[in-house]
Every structure is written in C-alpha cells, then in structure tokens.
Amino acid sequence: MLHKDSFIIDPATFSLIQELQAIPELKKFYLVGGTALALQLGHRNSIDIDLFSIKEFDDTEIMDILNSKYSVQEIFRRSNTIISLVNNIKTDFIRHNYPLLIQPITEDGITFLSKEDIAGMKFHAIIQSGKRLKDFIDIYFLLEHFSMQQLVGFFSSKYTYSNPMIAMKAVNYFDDIDENIDPPKMLNPLSVKTITDRIKEATLHPEKIFNQKK
C-alpha cells in the first residue's frame, strides 16, 4: 500500500506521475529515487519525479509529447537524458542501463522500483556525491528493512563492476553532508548525529536490522 498522504507527496505530483506513466510512449519508464522510496516507506516528503529506463529513448520524441500536453521547461537535454520542469514539477527522464534486482511494481497506476533496487541506487548516488542529507536519511530508514550487509549486496548485484568496499567507505563518510541541499521535510525530524550513528552501528554490526521508530 502506497503512502499517499499529502505530506509525503503533493497530490499534483502523484497525479502527474500517473498521467505520465499512462502515456504509451512512456511505458518503458519506472519511478525511482526518493519519491519511489517515500511512497513505499512514508518516511519523508519528496517533490521530484525521477523516471528511469533501461532502454534507450528518443529525447526529441519525449519532449514533443510533453510539450503537447503540459507546460514544460527544459533544463538540460542530451541523448537518453531529459532534465525538466513539467507543470513546474522537476521531472527527469534518464536511461540507467543496469540490471533490475526485482521487476518493477505497479500500484495505483504508478510503476516503481523495489526497495532493493532503490537501495542499491542510493549507494551509487552517495559514491558520486555524499553531500545530500536525504540520501543518508533514506539509508537510515532502509536499515529498518534490511541489514547493511544486504544493502551492500543489492549495490554489488546491481553495479557488478563496483567495489563494495568503496560503497561502505562512502556511506560512512559524513564530512561532505550539506544540510542546506534539498533538505527533506519529515514528520519526525532526525538530527544528523542520529542518522550517522545508526549507519556507523550498522557497519559495525552488518547483519543487524533496526527496529522501526514509532
């Protein structure tokens, strides 16, 4: 059951995802990232739409479709990549050619990736940049569903060329965190220390799954 409370996701954003994924030419895309995870866990607010596909796509065709139906502002575009605002909602279309750990899930007219796939992608994102607090928040809550050992396993299975030790080092390096970059809203805010302490403990006890906070 998806968490559709307006605090988690704005109803306009939810409706736009449904509309976009109903367009035949966009059926190859699935929702990923913080919004896909927030819909599953209900742990924080998320405002962006990240639509990824394993398959190549024609960026010109997609832009033509979007422009025919919505108010669109193109921010950046190249082959297999569109960064845009659709009806003033940040909406990205990106080819991400890595294997799916679990087939995409469809519920309430939205097709999204599993927690396992998103977990692997979160590690990948943190390796690329450890500045976004929201990525560490997502790891904090994923540790209530999986152990650190499992999370690193998802990363290694999805990105087979990568070194899991680099992932462990990245997720335990906190000096680059910038709390002012896209700070997420949470019903029960957490301090950075609370987040990093859990990650450190999970690293020391890699088979531990944490109890969910009430």
Model pLDDT for residues 128-187, shown as the tens digit of each residue = 999 999 999 999 999 999 999 999 999 999 999 999 999 999 999 999 999 999 888 998
Q: Are residues 164 and 181 in the same domain?
A: yes
When the pLDDT of each residue in the chain is averaged and rounded to a whole number, the result is: 97
Domain boundary residue, one of 112, 144, 179 = 112
Instruction: Check whether 214 has a pLDDT greater than 60.
Output: no
Q: What are phi and psi of 82, to 5 degrees?
A: -135, 125
Is residue 1 situated within a structural domain? no
Is residue 37 situated within a structural domain? yes
pLDDT score, position 181: 92
CB of 49 closer than 8 Å to CB of 17:
yes
Q: Are residues 21 and 95 in the same domain?
A: yes
Is residue 38 situated within a structural domain? yes
Q: What is the CATH number of the domain that holds 42?
A: 3.30.460
Domain boundary residue, one of 77, 112, 147 = 112
Q: Are residues 89 and 135 in the same domain?
A: no
**Mean predicted confidence (pLDDT) in 72-91:** 98
Instruction: Check whether 213 has a pLDDT greater than 90.
Output: no
Is residue 6 situated within a structural domain? no
Domain range for 44 is 11-112
Task: Note the helical H segments in 23-107.
Answer: 33-41, 59-69
Q: Are residues 82 and 24 in the same domain?
A: yes
pLDDT score, position 106: 98
Q: Are residues 16 and 91 in the same domain?
A: yes
Model pLDDT for residues 26-70, shown as the tens digit of each residue = 999 999 999 999 999 999 999 999 999 999 999 999 999 999 999
> Tokens 């569109």 map to which residue?
82
Q: What are phi and psi of 57, to 5 degrees?
A: -145, 160
Q: Are residues 33 and 100 in the same domain?
A: yes
- Dist. CA 89–CA 75, nearest whole Å: 12
Is residue 153 situated within a structural domain? yes
Model pLDDT for residues 93-130, shown as the tens digit of each residue = 999 999 999 999 999 999 999 999 999 999 999 999 99
Number of domains in the chain: 2
Is residue 66 situated within a structural domain? yes
Q: Are residues 91 and 25 in the same domain?
A: yes
Res. 212 pLDDT band, cuts 50 70 90: confident
